Amino acid sequence: MGERKTREGVVVSDAMQKTRVVKIERVYRHPRYQRVIRMSKKLKAHDEANESRVGDRVLIEETRPLSKEKRWRIRKILTRAS
């Protein structure tokens, strides 16, 4: 059995109960044009204790499907929003 995928991102919404929207950004260089490209995606992550807030940097891990769109859970809050 393999390791679960983990991603680091920033909480952009805490309007739902026990769910956070986490924005994950990846930066890479275009293979042909060598321009630096920033791409982001928003993932819904489960937060059982409702402890993360907007602006917090969090570590999320892949899990079994928890709802229609939720496949991630917040493992740890890395830094709090100031």
Digit-coded pLDDT (tens) for 8-67: 999 999 999 999 999 999 999 999 999 999 999 999 999 999 999 999 999 999 999 999
- Global pTM value: 0.90
What CATH number did the domain enclosing 50 receive?
A: 2.40.50.140
Residue at token pair 């602006």? 55
Residue 55 in any domain: the answer is yes
pLDDT of residue 66: 97
Burial bucket for residue 31 (CB in 10 Å: 0-12, 13-18, 19+): exposed
Of 15, 12, 7, nearest in space to 74 by CA: 7
Helix (H, G, I), strand (E, B) or coil at 71: coil
3-state secondary structure 28-48: EECCCCCCEEEEEEEEEEECC
- Look at the chain and report how many structural domains it folds into: 1
Residue 69 inside a domain? The answer is yes
Q: 74 lies in a domain?
A: yes
Q: Is residue 1 part of a domain?
A: no
User: What is the span of the domain harbouring residue 32?
Assistant: 6-79
pLDDT at 82: 78
Q: Is residue 48 part of a domain?
A: yes
CB atoms within 10 A of CB 45: 26
